[in-house]
């Protein structure tokens, strides 16, 4: 109960919000964006927060899932669920092949390699217009049906993405508290020490890389159906950076921190819209300010403060 307590609270909030404000723009439209970003941030956090391996190319797997679904369903009329599986197979293969050589690297070299991977895949989306539609993207992607229930309104997408997010959080919480999760924590602490205690660090890192790619791929597939349109812009280097920022903003190695970061960074552009031309400038400034003043992340810093306050209260 204690381990999954946060999840239950979140699930409760999710249901209540959906029932109480079914027409609100912030719930249905922004909500879906938030959930998508939360899935991506939570999956990236498995790799970055728990295993301590930075990735500046996470958007690539999101894109692989999205494009697999988009191409297969819109061009070849494949069933969306089969297309999603195909996307999973593709992302799984790519991540599995790249995992070992990439995760062998450390620090800035790892950052460079993952960044390179993301950019190469993004350039492929832009250039292979015979397959991906090029910079203009692909449209006409059909919707999906969940057990005979057609997902055809914004509100229904809210439920679908929300459930996906909760599932993702559940997976993340369970991995963290399992044997592989402890192995990951050991790798994060010290790779050499982990090896000494018998952890096969290379394979643990590779496994978590694949898991995080698979989760991102599912989110990508659903994203393609929800938008009914994909273009390379959604999977660029900047989006990868945004995801990293969500994870760090919430505080590394905290599943709910990642969710929190996703919520905040998804809402930010909505509020910055009023600044129009100043939007980019302010966005950059906020990013810098948070990292400078709260290097441990907003969520972790605040929750630590609250815990201390509570403890202090009990003592007096």
Partner 1 sequence: MFDQLLQFIISGITVGSVYALVGLGFTIIYNASDVVNFAQGEFVMIGAMSAIFLYGAGIPYPLALAAAVAITVVVGLMLEKFAVEPAKNASVVTTIIITIGASIFLRGAALLVWGKDIYGLPPFTKDVPISIGSATLLPQNIYVMLGTAVAVLLVRYFFDRTMTGKAIMACSCNRRAASLVGINVNRMLLIAYGVSALLGAVAGILVTPITYTSYDAGVMLGLKGFCAAILGGMGNSMGAVAGGLLLGIIESLGAGIISSGYKDAIAFVVILGVLFFRPGGLLGRADSERV
Which of 19, 20, 192, 315 binds partner 1 (CB under 8 A)? It is 192
Q: How far is the CB of 245 from partner 1 (least distance, A)?
A: 6
Alpha-carbon separation of residue 241 from 147, 194, 221 (angstroms): 36, 29, 21
Q: Which of 116, 112, 136 is nearest to 125 (CA)?
A: 136
Task: Tell me: does residue 115 bind partner 1 (CB under 8 A).
Answer: yes
Task: Tell me: does residue 202 bind partner 1 (CB under 8 A).
Answer: no
Task: Tell me: does residue 281 bind partner 1 (CB under 8 A).
Answer: yes
How many residues make contact with partner 1 (CB under 8 A)? 47
Token pair belonging to 280:
């980019």
Task: Tell me: does residue 131 bind partner 1 (CB under 8 A).
Answer: no
Between CA 64 and CA 62 the distance in angstroms is: 6
Segment interacting with partner 1 (CB under 8 A) among 62-70, 118-126, 136-144, 220-228 = 118-126
Cβ(21)–Cβ(78) under 8 Å? Answer: no
Cβ(302)–Cβ(253) under 8 Å? Answer: no
**Footprint of partner 1 on 51-90 (CB under 8 A):** 54, 56
Task: Tell me: does residue 273 bind partner 1 (CB under 8 A).
Answer: no
Q: Return the number of the residue (48 or 183) whose C-beta is nearest partner 1.
A: 48
Q: What is the 3-state secondary structure (H, E, C) of 137-158?
A: CEECCCCCEECCEECCCHHHHH
Phi–psi pair at 150, nearest 5 degrees: -70, 130
Which of 245, 254, 255, 266 binds partner 1 (CB under 8 A)? It is 245
Q: Return the number of the residue (87 or 297) whose C-beta is nearest partner 1.
A: 297
Task: Tell me: does residue 104 bind partner 1 (CB under 8 A).
Answer: yes
Task: Tell me: does residue 279 bind partner 1 (CB under 8 A).
Answer: yes
Which of 173, 244, 253, 259 binds partner 1 (CB under 8 A)? It is 244
Per the DSSP assignment, residues forming a β-bridge with 145 are 150
Count Cα atoms within 13 angstroms, Cβ side, for 281: 5
Between CA 114 and CA 99 the distance in angstroms is: 10
Give, as one character, the DSSP assignment of residue 181.
H
Q: How far is the CB of 42 from partner 1 (least distance, A)?
A: 17
Give, for 184, the enclosing helix (H) or strand (E).
helix 179-189
Which residues make up the interface to partner 1 (CB under 8 A)?
48, 54, 56, 101-102, 104-105, 107-109, 111-113, 115-117, 119-120, 123-124, 126-127, 190, 192-193, 237, 241, 244-245, 248, 252, 277-288, 291-293, 295
């Amino acid at each position: 109960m204690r381990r999954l307590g946060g999840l239950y609270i979140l699930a409760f909030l999710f249901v209540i919000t959906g029932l109480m404000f079914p027409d609100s723009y912030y719930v249905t439209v922004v909500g879906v964006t938030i959930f998508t970003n939360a899935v991506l941030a939570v999956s990236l956090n498995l790799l970055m927060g728990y295993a301590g391996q930075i990735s500046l190319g996470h958007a690539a797997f999101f894109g692989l899932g999205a494009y697999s679904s988009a191409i297969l369903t819109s061009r070849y009329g494949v069933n969306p669920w089969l297309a999603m599986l195909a996307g999973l197979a593709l992302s799984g293969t790519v991540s599995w092949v790249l995992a070992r050589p990439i995760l062998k690297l450390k620090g800035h070299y790892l950052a460079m390699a993952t960044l390179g991977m993301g950019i190469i895949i993004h350039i492929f989306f832009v250039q292979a217009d015979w397959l991906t539609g090029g910079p203009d993207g692909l449209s006409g992607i059909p919707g999906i049906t969940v057990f005979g229930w057609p997902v055809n309104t914004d509100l229904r997408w809210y439920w679908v993405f929300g459930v996906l997010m909760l599932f993702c959080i559940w997976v993340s919480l369970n991995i963290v508290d399992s044997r592989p999760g402890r192995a990951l924590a050991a790798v994060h602490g010290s790779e050499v020490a982990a090896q000494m205690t018998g952890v096969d660090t290379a394979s643990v890192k590779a496994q978590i890389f694949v898991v995080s790619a698979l989760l991102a791929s599912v989110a990508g597939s659903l994203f393609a159906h929800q938008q009914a349109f994909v273009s390379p812009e959604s999977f660029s280097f900047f989006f990868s950076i945004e995801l990293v920022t969500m994870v760090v903003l919430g505080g590394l190695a905290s599943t709910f921190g990642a969710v929190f970061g996703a919520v905040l960074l998804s809402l930010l552009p909505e509020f910055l819209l009023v600044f129009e031309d100043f939007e980019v400038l302010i966005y950059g400034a906020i990013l810098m300010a948070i990292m400078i003043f709260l290097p441990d992340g907003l969520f972790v810093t605040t929750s630590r403060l609250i815990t201390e306050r509570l403890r202090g209260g009990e003592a007096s």
